[in-house]
Chains A and B, each alone.
Chain A
């Protein structure tokens, strides 16, 4: 029987978030001329960098979180709450 203390590693989530992150970064760098000319227009286009930052942080942030979990680097178990 599996030990209850062994947590399941988030392999699936890591792969999905990793693929999405790579796709986002590839698009950004491959289409950088288009991105630069559109994002730098100012005005209403100012929302584009902000939205991009949120989207990247969601997918890449999840990926990096799962990445450390996969390596076994997780928060200490003793302290859940700060006094």
Chain B
């Protein structure tokens, strides 16, 4: 019992305000793109002296209630495909368990540095490929002046929708087509594996729903909240069984993130759908640099490159964490700005509508 309680830090007012603030910004981004924030929260808690596993567990325990509130809010706007969320969520749960198992194996074989290197490399490779693709697509939409157009289903998604495997076909309202679960299972699994590795499964889940299954961006990001909820409940229970959840940390972060997630969800009703891709792509690409900076540190710890001096390590760590916070703040700024512009445009439209009506 004493060992377990030793995992729990003392809370002072500054810590509470810090967690509340990071929770708010993370919640705002999650409400908008369906995930995010977690990649800052876990290292953020660890910087306060919370052990890694307790930070991961407490983060997960704040994530599922937050995702639930966000999903309910966005369901009111008709953006959630519950069936798709549950189908992907269940396979994601399996992915989480497998991902955690791989992590344990790597840690047992190569220690903390090996485990950290694996996480950082996963961050860099996945964020570079998927994030780069998402951002390129958003940029193309913007450049071609198609940002107001209804999103088109891509070639890959059309092909996936055209494949008929009897006995495995399920109709999903977000896609407005029948898709084989043989496609959704690996996507959910990959989402879960990524969630277990870098804490943000949505970086695979949302692009997969958009580009592989053909769901509109708004529905994909809203449905991701259902997946996060399903994954989060199972994951939290697993950690709680070992007494690793610090419920105080989880609930304080939740206090801030519930303010944020409501605002982020409201924001989606004001923006053009391609803004989801912009925010997601920008965050992914910036975070990639943040983690990339840490790769030499772990390589040196494993003896694969020459040892770095303490000053360099400390500088790389601080810069990496700073870039991560910057990514989250920039994401939040884009969300708030897009929301503000959307509200202004709506007001102008209402005013001109009223004027026209008056003239008639």
Q: Residues on A close to B: CB < 8 A?
A: 21, 25, 28-29, 32, 35-37, 39-43, 45-50, 52-54, 56-57, 60-61, 63-65, 67-68, 73-83
Q: How far, in angstroms, from A41 to B1 measured CA to CA in the complex?
A: 7
Residues of the A chain whose Cβ atoms lie less than 8 Å from the Cβ of B254: 53, 56-57, 60
CB pair A82 B216 closer than 8 Å? yes
Shortest Cβ distance from residue B20 to the other chain A in the assembled complex, whole angstroms = 11
Q: Which residues of A contact B155 (CB under 8 A)?
A: none
Residues of A within 8 A of B11 (CB): 29, 32
Q: How far is the CB of B303 from chain A (nearest CB, A)?
A: 37
Distance, CA A48 to CA B246, complexed state (A): 11
B266: which A residues are within 8 A, CB to CB? 68, 73-75
Closest A residue to B80 by beta carbon equals A82
19 residue pairs bridging A and B, Cβ less than 8 Å apart: A36-B248, A43-B241, A45-B240, A49-B236, A50-B240, A53-B64, A53-B236, A57-B69, A57-B258, A61-B258, A61-B262, A64-B262, A65-B262, A75-B77, A75-B269, A79-B77, A81-B77, A81-B78, A83-B150
Most chain A CB within a 10 A radius of its CB, from B62, B233, B269, B270? B269
Q: Which one of A29, A36, A42, A78 contacts B242 once the chains associate, using CB atoms below 8 Å? A: A42
Provide the bound-state CA to CA distance between A56 and B61, in Å: 12
Interface pairs A-B: 3 shortest CB-CB: A57-B65, A46-B240, A40-B243
Known pairs A53-B251, A57-B66, A64-B259; list 16 more (Cβ under 8 Å).
A21-B255, A25-B251, A28-B251, A36-B5, A40-B5, A49-B247, A50-B237, A53-B61, A60-B258, A61-B65, A63-B258, A64-B69, A64-B261, A64-B262, A81-B77, A82-B218
State whether the Cβ of B263 lies closer than 8 Å to any Cβ in chain A. yes
Minimal Cβ-Cβ distance residue in B for A54: B65
Given contacts A28-B247, A39-B245, contact A80 B78 (CB under 8 A): yes
**Segment 251-276 of B: residues with Cβ below 8 Å from A:** 251, 254-255, 258-259, 261-263, 266, 269-270, 273
Residues of B within 8 A of A39 (CB): 240, 243, 245, 247
Interface residues of B in 342-360 (CB under 8 A from A): 342-343, 346, 349
Contact between B73 and A40 (Cβ–Cβ < 8 Å)?
no
- Closest partner residue, chain A, to B64 (CB atom): A53
**Complex alpha-carbon distance, A48 and B64, angstroms:** 15
Measured in the bound complex, the distance between the Cα atoms of B255 and A63 in whole Å is: 10
Interface of A is mostly: helix
Residues of A within 8 A of B255 (CB): 21, 25, 60
Contact A53 B62, CB 8 Å, known A25-B255, A60-B258: yes
B182 close to A (CB within 8 Å): no
Q: How far is the CA of A70 from the CA of B241 in the complex (A)?
A: 40
B268 — nearest CB in chain A belongs to which residue? A75
Given known pairs A40-B243, A46-B237, A56-B254, the reply for A35 and B248 (CB within 8 Å) is: yes
Contact with A along B172-183 (1 / 0, CB 8 A): 000000000000
Confirm or deny: B18 has a beta carbon within 8 angstroms of a beta carbon on chain A.
no
Q: Are B248 and A37 in contact (CB under 8 A)?
A: no
Asked, given contacts A65-B262, A79-B77, whether A32 binds B250 with beta carbons under 8 Å apart, the answer is no
- Inside 8 A of B244's CB, which chain A residues have their CB? 40
CB closest chain-B residue, reference A21: B255
Least CB separation from B63: chain A residue:
A53
Which residues of the partner chain B approach A81 to less than 8 Å between Cβ atoms? Answer: 77-78
Binary contact readout B306-349 vs A (1 if CB under 8 angstroms, 0 otherwise):
00000000000000000000000000000000000011001001
Q: Which residues of B contact A60 (CB under 8 A)?
A: 254-255, 258
Contact with A along B85-128 (1 / 0, CB 8 A): 00000000000000000000000000000000000000000000
Q: Which of the residues B1, B241, B270 comes within 8 Å of A76, measured between beta carbons?
A: B270
A82-B247 CB under 8 A given contacts A25-B255, A37-B1, A53-B254: no
Among candidates B1, B61, B77, B343, residue contacting A49 with C-beta atoms closer than 8 Å: B61
Residues of A within 8 A of B261 (CB): 64
Contact present for B346 and A77 (CB under 8 Å) = yes
Q: Are A42 and B77 in contact (CB under 8 A)?
A: no
User: B residues within 8 A CB of A56?
Assistant: 65, 251, 254
